[in-house]
Structure 1
Amino acid sequence: MFCGLSAFPLTPVNETGINEKAFVTLIQQLVAAGVDSIGALGSTGNYAYLNREERLRVLRLAVHSAEGIPVMISISAIRTSEVLRLAEDAQRAGASAVLLAPISYQTLTNDEVFLLYEQVTNSLSIPLCVYDNPSTSHFHFSDELHGRIAELPNVSSIKIPGVPSDPEAAKTRIRKLRTAIPPHVTIGVSGDSFAVTGLNAGCEAWYSVLGGLFPNVCLKMTRLAQAGFADEAKRLSALLEPIWTLFHQYGSLRVISAAAEISGLISSPSLPLPLQPLNQLAREHLEFILKDIQTTETSCSPFG
């Protein structure tokens, strides 16, 4: 399940609770598109703002609505004891895999991060994806640490935070990381603007924010890259450059929640406090951009 497009849907949530009906609608879109896997409760899924009971409810909704598509669920939390409880919930509720980032209030050492993954994998019966996301965790993995963790049982993929924009530099980066990890562990690119470059450089998976809302166009890009049509994949990605720019300016979570609201898939407000939505000017710009994206989404079907 750690190859192809893994779509990460938004969890619509505000101070009144989770919009379960809207969440299921988003999952059903991904099922209809035929994504390779679903990444529930990633950063786009607002996992950090939900308690254990809310996270379990979202997981159950995702698994129930996924119609057999593998569901990966985040088990990241500040304390190891809580991570272990979330891992237990994930296994009991039917998740196909778990996603774990080293989250901490205090700066973590390499040994502390390794110990986290060691303790968690010792209790797992399903695969784990390492979530390398320094923009939120403020922890920077070395390739040596990735290699140590990748040798642990059930570690099956690494979700990296983008690649260099230069295609040759991207290939060099992926080759270097691959020499440090076992061959059965896949590398998945995140940071949607880097996705096609990463796939063309040898990443097996795309862990995608945009794919959680517009799965058809993202699946088309993924299939093109997988089939070796690098230039066509880059052409599609270039069409999405305006939304990549908004992601960098305002954060992908704010942009994707506004896009889902504009598309009529969820109601407003859809973010937990203290998070605020896009300002009016940015929202109007997004509305303009979405016309082209929705046209492209409608015209795309899975390739291959």
Structure 2
Amino acid sequence: MFTGLCAFPLTPMNEDQVDEASYVHLISRLVKAGVDSIGALGSTGSYAYLSRAERARLAQLAVEHAESTPVMVSIGSLRTKLVLELAEDAQKAGVTAVLLPPLSYQALNETEVFDFYKTVTSNLSVPLCVYDNPGTNHFTFSDELHGRIAHLPNVRSIKIPGVPASLPEAKARVDRLRALIPAHVSIGVSGDASAATGLNAGCEAWYSVIGGVFPEISLAITRAALRGDAEEAEKLSNRLLPLWQIFGRSGGSLRVVAAAAELLSLVSAPSLPQPLRSVEGQAREELNALLEALELS
């Protein structure tokens, strides 16, 4: 479950409802492409904008249409009580694993975060992946805190932010964390622009935004890195440099991959919950040209 490519699909929606048909189609595309696992209802899946009932329904749909592909869903919420309810719903849906961010309005401290994971993991019957993304959750894990959490029951992976661009520095970063966590806990890189470097540096998994829309190129990068062909993995990633640049200019990946899915008619526009909007104007024109030039579909 916690190795290879974990593809994170969008949850297409408008202000009235979730587009379940398009959501199922996105899941089915990932299964057909052969991704190693599916990360439904992650940040790319706009979990924080959905009700408990919507999240339970989407978890169920993901499991039903993933066939034999493992499914992980986010159970992040502002209160521990709500997280435990979401965990119960996810487990009833039959998910393979859950993804847990330290989501908050008031800034959390390390004691609160550790106790939070301790409470949740003691109430789980499925594995858990720790979600570390200070850009969305506004909490920065120390490696020492990761080490403590990684020894809790049911913790099986850590989803870290993007690694340094330099391979030696990236390897040093991964090695520092690896030294503090048990061998059975994998390290997965996010931050798609640095995914090839992270995999080449020793990460076992790629928790991928673009994998949810472009599974084939994402799989090619992952497979190259994990078979030890670092040069090929970097070459394939560098081919996507214009996409990484659009990410940087657009405030992140979500608005860009939503626009890509709209341009490819995989989802209807608008596909994000308001007030979020997929990229528009010149950035959207550049993205459309890039999709055609690189034959991304």
Who is 1:284 aligned against? 285
- Taking structure 2 as the reference length, the TM-score comes to 0.98
CA distance in 2, matches of 1:87, 1:48: 14
Alpha-carbon shift at residue 293 of structure 1 (Å): 3.3
Q: Secondary structure at the match of 1:149?
A: helix
Listed as ranges, the matches of 1:84-233 within 5 Å are 84-233=84-233
* Aligned residues: CA RMSD: 0.8
Alpha-carbon shift at residue 278 of structure 1 (Å): 1.3
Who is 1:300 aligned against? none
Alpha-carbon shift at residue 235 of structure 1 (Å): 0.5
Who is 1:302 aligned against? none
Who is 1:54 aligned against? 54
Deviations 1:187-237 (Å, cap 9, x if unpaired)?
000000010000000000000000000101100110000111110111100
CA distance in 2, matches of 1:41, 1:9: 8
Who is 1:262 aligned against? 263
Deviations 1:37-74 (Å, cap 9, x if unpaired)?
00000000000100100111111111001011000000
The one-letter code sitting in structure 1 at the alignment partner of 2:223 is: R
Who is 2:294 aligned against? 293
Structure 1: tracts of 5 or more residues without a match: 298-304
Who is 2:66 aligned against? 66
Q: Secondary structure at the match of 1:266?
A: coil
- Taking structure 1 as the reference length, the TM-score comes to 0.96
The number of residues matched between the two structures is 296
CA distance in 2, matches of 1:10, 1:31: 15
Q: Percent identity?
A: 61
Runs of 4+ in 1 over 6 A off after TM superposition: none
The one-letter code sitting in structure 1 at the alignment partner of 2:58 is: V
Alpha-carbon shift at residue 279 of structure 1 (Å): 2.0
Alpha-carbon shift at residue 151 of structure 1 (Å): 0.4
Moved more, 197-206 or 272-281: 272-281
Structure 2: tracts of 5 or more residues without a match: none
Deviations 1:16-43 (Å, cap 9, x if unpaired)?
2100000111111100011000000000
